[in-house]
Protein backbone atom coordinates (compact mmCIF):
# COMPACT_ATOMS: atom_id res chain seq x y z
CA UNK A 1 0.00 0.00 0.00
CA UNK A 2 1.19 3.53 -0.77
CA UNK A 3 2.74 5.24 2.27
CA UNK A 4 0.47 8.30 1.86
CA UNK A 5 -2.57 6.04 2.03
CA UNK A 6 -1.21 4.21 5.07
CA UNK A 7 -0.60 7.52 6.87
CA UNK A 8 -4.10 8.74 5.96
CA UNK A 9 -5.80 5.64 7.37
CA UNK A 10 -3.64 5.66 10.50
CA UNK A 11 -4.64 9.26 11.27
CA UNK A 12 -8.31 8.27 10.99
CA UNK A 13 -7.77 5.25 13.27
CA UNK A 14 -5.78 7.13 15.94
CA UNK A 15 -7.66 10.44 15.74
CA UNK A 16 -4.60 12.69 15.49
CA UNK A 17 -1.48 13.45 13.51
CA UNK A 18 0.75 13.03 16.57
CA UNK A 19 -0.60 9.59 17.51
CA UNK A 20 -0.35 8.45 13.88
CA UNK A 21 3.28 9.58 13.87
CA UNK A 22 3.98 7.53 17.00
CA UNK A 23 2.38 4.39 15.57
CA UNK A 24 4.22 4.72 12.27
CA UNK A 25 7.56 5.68 13.87
CA UNK A 26 7.60 8.97 11.96
CA UNK A 27 7.94 12.58 12.93
CA UNK A 28 4.77 14.66 13.00
CA UNK A 29 6.04 16.98 10.23
CA UNK A 30 6.60 13.90 8.02
CA UNK A 31 3.02 12.77 8.63
CA UNK A 32 1.75 16.24 7.77
CA UNK A 33 3.82 16.27 4.59
CA UNK A 34 2.37 12.96 3.40
CA UNK A 35 -1.18 14.24 3.93
CA UNK A 36 -0.35 17.49 2.14
CA UNK A 37 0.96 15.49 -0.84
CA UNK A 38 -2.19 13.36 -0.92
CA UNK A 39 -4.47 16.39 -0.72
CA UNK A 40 -2.50 18.08 -3.53
CA UNK A 41 -2.81 14.99 -5.75
CA UNK A 42 -6.55 14.63 -5.21
CA UNK A 43 -7.29 18.35 -5.06
CA UNK A 44 -9.45 18.32 -1.90
CA UNK A 45 -9.01 18.69 1.86
CA UNK A 46 -9.15 15.43 3.77
CA UNK A 47 -9.38 16.77 7.32
CA UNK A 48 -11.18 19.71 8.95
CA UNK A 49 -8.50 21.43 10.98
CA UNK A 50 -10.66 24.39 12.13
CA UNK A 51 -11.76 22.70 15.36
CA UNK A 52 -9.81 21.31 18.30
CA UNK A 53 -10.85 17.75 17.47
CA UNK A 54 -9.74 16.40 14.09
CA UNK A 55 -12.60 15.55 11.73
CA UNK A 56 -12.58 13.83 8.36
CA UNK A 57 -14.22 15.95 5.67
CA UNK A 58 -16.99 14.67 3.41
CA UNK A 59 -14.56 14.26 0.56
CA UNK A 60 -12.12 12.65 3.00
CA UNK A 61 -14.70 9.97 3.79
CA UNK A 62 -15.05 9.22 0.09
CA UNK A 63 -11.28 8.93 -0.21
CA UNK A 64 -11.21 6.70 2.90
CA UNK A 65 -13.69 4.26 1.35
CA UNK A 66 -11.61 3.82 -1.80
CA UNK A 67 -8.26 3.73 0.02
CA UNK A 68 -9.58 0.90 2.21
CA UNK A 69 -10.63 -0.95 -0.95
CA UNK A 70 -7.12 -0.46 -2.34
CA UNK A 71 -5.65 -1.76 0.92
CA UNK A 72 -7.85 -4.86 0.69
CA UNK A 73 -6.85 -5.41 -2.92
CA UNK A 74 -3.20 -5.07 -1.94
CA UNK A 75 -3.59 -7.87 0.62
CA UNK A 76 -5.38 -10.01 -1.99
CA UNK A 77 -2.59 -9.30 -4.48
CA UNK A 78 0.09 -10.41 -2.01
CA UNK A 79 -1.86 -13.60 -1.28
CA UNK A 80 -2.32 -14.30 -4.99
CA UNK A 81 1.41 -13.84 -5.60
CA UNK A 82 2.21 -16.19 -2.71
CA UNK A 83 -0.16 -18.82 -4.09
CA UNK A 84 1.26 -18.41 -7.59
CA UNK A 85 4.82 -19.00 -6.41
CA UNK A 86 4.25 -21.58 -3.67
CA UNK A 87 1.07 -23.60 -4.28
CA UNK A 88 0.19 -26.01 -7.08
CA UNK A 89 -3.24 -24.66 -7.90
CA UNK A 90 -4.87 -22.38 -10.41
CA UNK A 91 -4.80 -22.09 -14.18
CA UNK A 92 -2.33 -23.84 -16.47
CA UNK A 93 -2.34 -22.95 -20.18
CA UNK A 94 -0.79 -25.67 -22.35
CA UNK A 95 -0.36 -25.64 -26.10
CA UNK A 96 0.59 -28.75 -28.04
CA UNK A 97 1.03 -29.75 -31.63
CA UNK A 98 -1.44 -32.32 -32.97
CA UNK A 99 0.64 -35.48 -32.69
CA UNK A 100 1.59 -34.94 -29.06
CA UNK A 101 -1.52 -33.06 -27.99
CA UNK A 102 -4.06 -35.57 -29.25
CA UNK A 103 -2.24 -38.86 -28.66
CA UNK A 104 0.20 -38.41 -25.74
CA UNK A 105 -0.80 -35.38 -23.68
CA UNK A 106 -4.21 -36.71 -22.47
CA UNK A 107 -2.62 -39.51 -20.40
CA UNK A 108 0.09 -37.21 -19.04
CA UNK A 109 -2.48 -34.60 -18.06
CA UNK A 110 -4.79 -37.17 -16.48
CA UNK A 111 -2.06 -38.47 -14.13
CA UNK A 112 -1.04 -34.90 -13.28
CA UNK A 113 -4.60 -33.90 -12.34
CA UNK A 114 -4.98 -36.97 -10.12
CA UNK A 115 -2.08 -35.65 -8.05
CA UNK A 116 -2.93 -31.94 -8.24
CA UNK A 117 -6.70 -31.60 -8.06
CA UNK A 118 -6.73 -27.79 -7.72
CA UNK A 119 -5.20 -27.17 -11.15
CA UNK A 120 -7.46 -25.95 -13.96
CA UNK A 121 -5.91 -26.77 -17.36
CA UNK A 122 -6.69 -25.06 -20.66
CA UNK A 123 -5.41 -26.93 -23.71
CA UNK A 124 -4.88 -25.49 -27.19
CA UNK A 125 -4.03 -27.81 -30.09
CA UNK A 126 -2.37 -26.13 -33.08
CA UNK A 127 0.52 -26.71 -35.41
CA UNK A 128 4.10 -26.12 -34.26
CA UNK A 129 4.40 -22.63 -35.74
CA UNK A 130 1.24 -21.37 -34.03
CA UNK A 131 2.13 -22.91 -30.66
CA UNK A 132 5.56 -21.25 -30.70
CA UNK A 133 4.02 -17.87 -31.49
CA UNK A 134 1.41 -18.26 -28.74
CA UNK A 135 4.10 -19.02 -26.15
CA UNK A 136 6.17 -16.03 -27.31
CA UNK A 137 3.10 -13.77 -27.03
CA UNK A 138 2.29 -15.19 -23.54
CA UNK A 139 -1.08 -16.53 -24.65
CA UNK A 140 -0.08 -19.93 -23.26
CA UNK A 141 2.41 -20.93 -20.55
CA UNK A 142 3.92 -24.10 -22.01
CA UNK A 143 4.17 -25.43 -25.55
CA UNK A 144 4.98 -28.98 -26.65
CA UNK A 145 5.97 -29.31 -30.29
CA UNK A 146 7.80 -31.56 -32.72
CA UNK A 147 10.95 -30.14 -34.21
CA UNK A 148 13.29 -27.37 -33.09
CA UNK A 149 11.97 -23.79 -33.21
CA UNK A 150 14.34 -20.84 -33.54
CA UNK A 151 12.98 -17.84 -31.61
CA UNK A 152 14.88 -15.25 -29.52
CA UNK A 153 12.23 -15.22 -26.78
CA UNK A 154 11.85 -18.98 -26.38
CA UNK A 155 13.69 -21.62 -24.38
CA UNK A 156 13.48 -25.21 -25.68
CA UNK A 157 14.07 -28.49 -23.86
CA UNK A 158 14.02 -31.88 -25.59
CA UNK A 159 11.56 -34.15 -23.79
CA UNK A 160 10.86 -37.12 -26.07
CA UNK A 161 11.52 -38.84 -29.38
CA UNK A 162 8.97 -40.09 -31.87
CA UNK A 163 9.17 -42.49 -34.83
CA UNK A 164 7.84 -41.45 -38.23
CA UNK A 165 6.53 -44.12 -40.61
CA UNK A 166 5.01 -44.35 -44.08
CA UNK A 167 1.48 -45.77 -43.79
CA UNK A 168 -0.94 -47.19 -46.35
CA UNK A 169 -4.22 -49.14 -46.43
CA UNK A 170 -2.39 -52.33 -47.41
CA UNK A 171 1.22 -53.52 -47.07
CA UNK A 172 2.03 -54.34 -50.70
CA UNK A 173 1.72 -51.01 -52.50
CA UNK A 174 4.27 -49.21 -54.67
CA UNK A 175 4.82 -45.77 -53.16
CA UNK A 176 5.94 -44.31 -56.51
CA UNK A 177 2.41 -44.75 -57.83
CA UNK A 178 0.60 -43.23 -54.85
CA UNK A 179 -0.77 -39.82 -53.98
CA UNK A 180 0.50 -38.40 -50.70
CA UNK A 181 -1.78 -37.00 -48.00
CA UNK A 182 0.17 -34.36 -46.05
CA UNK A 183 -0.28 -31.90 -43.21
CA UNK A 184 -0.40 -28.15 -43.76
CA UNK A 185 2.69 -25.92 -43.90
CA UNK A 186 3.81 -24.86 -40.42
CA UNK A 187 3.12 -28.32 -39.04
CA UNK A 188 6.00 -30.27 -37.50
CA UNK A 189 4.72 -33.40 -39.24
CA UNK A 190 4.87 -31.59 -42.58
CA UNK A 191 8.43 -30.49 -41.85
CA UNK A 192 9.40 -34.08 -40.98
CA UNK A 193 7.84 -35.30 -44.21
CA UNK A 194 9.75 -32.72 -46.27
CA UNK A 195 12.97 -33.97 -44.66
CA UNK A 196 11.98 -37.55 -45.43
CA UNK A 197 11.19 -36.82 -49.11
CA UNK A 198 14.50 -35.01 -49.53
CA UNK A 199 16.50 -37.77 -47.85
CA UNK A 200 15.05 -40.52 -50.05
CA UNK A 201 14.81 -38.33 -53.16
CA UNK A 202 11.07 -38.90 -53.53
CA UNK A 203 8.95 -36.56 -55.65
CA UNK A 204 5.22 -37.22 -55.20
CA UNK A 205 3.18 -36.47 -58.32
CA UNK A 206 0.08 -35.57 -56.32
CA UNK A 207 -0.12 -34.17 -52.77
CA UNK A 208 -3.34 -33.48 -50.86
CA UNK A 209 -2.94 -31.09 -47.94
CA UNK A 210 -5.13 -31.67 -44.85
CA UNK A 211 -5.13 -29.85 -41.52
CA UNK A 212 -6.05 -32.87 -39.41
CA UNK A 213 -4.14 -36.06 -38.66
CA UNK A 214 -7.41 -37.89 -38.06
CA UNK A 215 -8.67 -36.85 -41.50
CA UNK A 216 -5.40 -38.00 -43.09
CA UNK A 217 -5.69 -41.41 -41.44
CA UNK A 218 -9.27 -41.80 -42.61
CA UNK A 219 -8.32 -40.86 -46.17
CA UNK A 220 -5.41 -43.33 -46.22
CA UNK A 221 -7.60 -46.11 -44.79
CA UNK A 222 -10.05 -45.41 -47.60
CA UNK A 223 -7.29 -46.19 -50.11
CA UNK A 224 -6.96 -42.65 -51.49
CA UNK A 225 -3.22 -42.39 -50.91
CA UNK A 226 -0.38 -42.83 -48.42
CA UNK A 227 1.08 -40.60 -45.73
CA UNK A 228 4.04 -40.07 -43.42
CA UNK A 229 2.87 -39.88 -39.82
CA UNK A 230 3.95 -40.23 -36.23
CA UNK A 231 3.83 -43.82 -35.05
CA UNK A 232 2.06 -42.56 -31.92
CA UNK A 233 -0.84 -41.36 -34.05
CA UNK A 234 -1.35 -44.65 -35.92
CA UNK A 235 -0.56 -47.19 -33.19
CA UNK A 236 -4.15 -48.33 -32.79
CA UNK A 237 -4.75 -48.64 -36.54
CA UNK A 238 -1.54 -50.65 -36.96
CA UNK A 239 -2.62 -53.01 -34.19
CA UNK A 240 -6.11 -53.38 -35.70
CA UNK A 241 -4.76 -53.96 -39.21
CA UNK A 242 -6.59 -51.00 -40.77
CA UNK A 243 -3.23 -49.37 -41.62
CA UNK A 244 0.17 -50.84 -42.50
CA UNK A 245 3.69 -49.47 -42.47
CA UNK A 246 5.67 -49.49 -45.71
CA UNK A 247 9.37 -50.41 -45.69
CA UNK A 248 9.58 -49.51 -42.02
CA UNK A 249 13.13 -50.73 -41.59
CA UNK A 250 14.28 -48.46 -44.42
CA UNK A 251 11.96 -45.46 -44.05
CA UNK A 252 11.79 -45.20 -40.27
CA UNK A 253 13.05 -41.84 -39.00
CA UNK A 254 13.18 -40.36 -35.52
CA UNK A 255 12.24 -36.80 -34.62
CA UNK A 256 12.52 -34.88 -31.36
CA UNK A 257 9.75 -33.31 -29.32
CA UNK A 258 10.46 -30.14 -27.36
CA UNK A 259 8.89 -28.30 -24.46
CA UNK A 260 8.97 -24.56 -25.14
CA UNK A 261 8.61 -21.67 -22.70
CA UNK A 262 9.44 -18.00 -22.60
CA UNK A 263 12.85 -16.91 -21.38
CA UNK A 264 13.15 -14.75 -18.25
CA UNK A 265 9.61 -15.33 -17.00
CA UNK A 266 8.62 -15.88 -13.36
CA UNK A 267 7.49 -19.52 -13.10
CA UNK A 268 4.40 -20.42 -11.12
CA UNK A 269 4.41 -23.45 -8.86
CA UNK A 270 1.85 -25.03 -11.18
CA UNK A 271 4.23 -24.53 -14.10
CA UNK A 272 7.19 -26.06 -12.24
CA UNK A 273 5.14 -29.06 -11.08
CA UNK A 274 3.82 -29.77 -14.58
CA UNK A 275 7.25 -29.48 -16.21
CA UNK A 276 8.64 -31.97 -13.69
CA UNK A 277 5.72 -34.34 -14.30
CA UNK A 278 6.07 -33.97 -18.08
CA UNK A 279 9.74 -34.93 -18.04
CA UNK A 280 9.01 -37.91 -15.79
CA UNK A 281 6.24 -39.21 -18.08
CA UNK A 282 8.20 -38.63 -21.28
CA UNK A 283 11.19 -40.54 -19.92
CA UNK A 284 8.89 -43.58 -19.79
CA UNK A 285 7.44 -43.26 -23.30
Q: Does one domain contain both 73 and 199?
A: no
Q: Does one domain contain both 173 and 196?
A: yes
Q: Does one domain contain both 151 and 227?
A: no
Q: Does one domain contain both 76 and 16?
A: yes
Name the domain count of the chain: 3
CATH code (residue 138): 3.40.190.10
Q: Does one domain contain both 147 and 212?
A: no
Q: Does one domain contain both 58 and 36?
A: yes
Range of the domain at 218: 162-254
Q: List the one residue out of 196, 190, 181, 180 whose CA is nearest residue 128.
A: 190
Per DSSP, what are the bridge partners of residue 94? 123, 142
Residue 246, pLDDT score = 92
Q: Does one domain contain both 25 and 135?
A: no
| Cα 220 from Cα 216, distance rounded (Å) | 6
Residue 170, pLDDT score = 94
Residue 265, pLDDT score = 76
DSSP-based three-state secondary structure for 260: strand
Q: Does one domain contain both 155 and 276?
A: yes
Q: Does one domain contain both 156 and 166?
A: no
Q: Does one domain contain both 155 and 178?
A: no
Half-sphere exposure of 272 (CA within 13 A, CB side): 10
Residue 267, pLDDT score = 82
* Regions of the chain short of the pLDDT cut 50: none
Q: Does one domain contain both 149 and 168?
A: no
Q: Does one domain contain both 155 and 264?
A: yes
- Compute, in degrees rounded to 10, the torsion defined by CA atoms 179, 183, 188, 194: 30
Q: Quote the pTM value.
A: 0.66
Amino acid sequence: MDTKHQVFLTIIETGSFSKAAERLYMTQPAVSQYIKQLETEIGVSLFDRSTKKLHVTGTGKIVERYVRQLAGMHVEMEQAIHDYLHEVKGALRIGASYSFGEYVLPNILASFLKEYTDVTPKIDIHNTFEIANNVAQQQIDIGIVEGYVEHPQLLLQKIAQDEMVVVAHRPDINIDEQSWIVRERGSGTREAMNTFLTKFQLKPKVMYEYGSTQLIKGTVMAGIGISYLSKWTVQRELEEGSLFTINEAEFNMVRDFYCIQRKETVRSKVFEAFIQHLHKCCSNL
